[in-house]
Amino acid sequence: MTTPAPTGLEQPDRAFSTAETALIIGAGLAGCACARTLAGSGFTCKLYDRNADLAAATSAVPAAIHQPHLTRTDQLRRRYYLAAYKRSLTEFSAPEYQSLYHRTGLLKLVDDVDSWSDHHSWERHSQTSASLLAGTTVASEALYLKDAGWISPHALCTHWVTTDASISFHGGTEISGLRRTMSGWLLLDAQGKTIDESRLVILANGGQMTRFDATSHFPLQALRGQMSFFDGPDLLPPAAPIISGKGYILPGKSGFWSGATHQRDNTSVTTSVADDLKNAAQVNALLPDLLPPNQATTSWAGVRCTTPDRLPLIGAAPDASFYRQAYADLHHGRTNQSFPKAQFEDGLFVIGGFGSRGVIHSLHAATALCGIIQAEHSVPPEFLAATHPGRFLLRQLRRN
């Protein structure tokens, strides 16, 4: 069998042993899932966050929907999201998640339900039968996924971290710098003093990943969003599913959440009345018979971290200067030229770019990363290549 020619999307050869302590920066869904998965493989994990509590930034979203991404055609992104959804669904089916995961089912309103025929796990419903499921008239035909639901990421992260003694949480600790040494990496505070050191460091700090020199090249984008809670205990039946279409309605105790707005390159977490009004307008577009909601009683805003291709970043941090030099000829389109194998910032890994789907991404990404760290790959090669942290450098070089 011939070995495939290097493409820049290889994985590192080095396997880290469980003798190394994993230092993880960022204690949101990405960092906590990573700690949980590495601890499950025998690593001792130290989780650092600048906030005092777990899941206190984007993962503080009050209720996060757990559903795969739906696309009409069978493309890599659909396969990826489905695999990620199945991974978390298997996890959430364990007894320990019974009080955490709310398996409400989800109705996805679509225009032409028959054109979604190859989505086997989704039931197809006419507008009438979808309205029966919802307990009120829905705006169109719909697809129904009975195992979809919602979870509180804060509760999930707390569960992962506090039920495993190999994970310690160091809240209120901002990591201001990273320095490479002969033997590994130092985590530095704002004065340049060493906070900790290890051969194995994982960046799970969302959009803040680009503040470090070694990872400043990632093209991460901020996407602000707001969700709004509307009071109304009798508006929806108690067991109503989540209704999703352009926006969503997530039934809760004594009312429902509606969301979420999307504003590119806006990093403000201050809530706005204008966004509450947008969310209120969305409710009636989904459920026309529902009375227009009163003013929102609570709102929450956060900033999603997205990548240009809407797939996460998972793996070893690429050595950017090596990539720029070794793959410079890619812009000539020389596909038959032989390129050297990818090189990395030894011992530095990244996980993030989860966009609006942090719940389904976190465990699948953590499983993939845990395999990469131990050089024992557990997810298909097409997924490793699609989420490879070096892909954006390669794309940039090709465009040049």
Ligand X SMILES: Cc1cc2nc3c(=O)[nH]c(=O)nc-3n(C[C@H](O)[C@H](O)[C@H](O)COP(=O)(O)OP(=O)(O)OC[C@H]3O[C@@H](n4cnc5c(N)ncnc54)[C@H](O)[C@@H]3O)c2cc1C
Site string for ligand X, 210-239 (x = CB under 6 A): ---------------xxx------------
Q: Which of 47, 57, 242, 393 binds ligand X (CB under 6 A)?
A: 57
**Which one of the spans 118-126, 202-210, 289-297, 375-383 is the region binding ligand X (CB under 6 A)?**
202-210
Q: Is 102 in the site for ligand X (CB under 6 A)?
A: no
Cα dihedral 79, 84, 88, 93 in deg (nearest 10): 10
Length of the chain in terms of residues written = 400
Of 23-42, binders to ligand X (CB under 6 A) are 25-31
- Kindly determine how many residues on this chain lie close enough to bind ligand X according to the rule CB under 6 A: 40
Q: Is 359 in the site for ligand X (CB under 6 A)?
A: yes
Q: Which of 38, 65, 89, 394 binds ligand X (CB under 6 A)?
A: 65
Q: Closest approach of Cβ 196 to ligand X, in Å?
A: 12
Residues 108, 323: Cα–Cα separation, whole Å: 42
Q: Which of 354, 371, 372, 379 binds ligand X (CB under 6 A)?
A: 354
Q: Closest approach of Cβ 36 to ligand X, in Å?
A: 12
In the chain, DSSP finds a helix count (H) and a strand count (E) of: 9, 20
Site string for ligand X, 301-340 (x = CB under 6 A): -x-xx-----------------------------------
Nearest to 341 by CA among 3, 96, 49, 58: 3
Site string for ligand X, 128-157 (x = CB under 6 A): -------------------------x----
Q: Is 22 in the site for ligand X (CB under 6 A)?
A: no
For residue 111, give every residue at least 6 positions away whose Cβ sits within 8 Å of its Cβ, in sequence order, or none. 140, 141
Q: Which residue, 206 or 293, is less far from ligand X as judged by CB?
A: 206
Q: Are strands 344-352 and 298-306 parallel, antiparallel or unpaired?
A: unpaired
Secondary structure of 232-271 as H, E, C letters: CCCCCCCCCCEEEECEEEEEECCEEEEECCCEECCCCCCC
Q: Which of 357, 364, 388, 391 binds ligand X (CB under 6 A)?
A: 357
**Which one of the spans 72-80, 122-130, 234-242, 347-355 is the region binding ligand X (CB under 6 A)?**
347-355
Residues 128, 90: Cα–Cα separation, whole Å: 32
Q: Are 40 and 279 in contact (CB under 8 A)?
A: no
Sign of the four-CA dihedral 108, 109, 110, 116: positive
Q: Which residue, 47 or 290, is less far from ligand X as judged by CB?
A: 47
Q: Is 178 in the site for ligand X (CB under 6 A)?
A: no
Q: Which residue, 131 or 152, is less far from ligand X as judged by CB?
A: 152
Nearest to 212 by CA among 174, 182, 254, 263: 174
Residues 263, 260: Cα–Cα separation, whole Å: 10
Nearest to 36 by CA among 162, 205, 209, 211: 162
Of 75-94, binders to ligand X (CB under 6 A) are none
Nearest residue to ligand X by CB is 28
Cα dihedral 328, 334, 338, 343 in deg (nearest 10): 30
For residue 228, give every residue at least 6 positions away whose Cβ sits within 8 Å of its Cβ, in sequence order, or none. 257, 258, 259, 275, 276, 279, 280, 296, 298, 299
Site string for ligand X, 255-274 (x = CB under 6 A): ----xx--------------
The residues binding ligand X (CB under 6 A) are 25-31, 48-51, 56-59, 61, 64-65, 153, 174-175, 204-206, 208, 225-227, 259-260, 302, 304-305, 352, 354-359
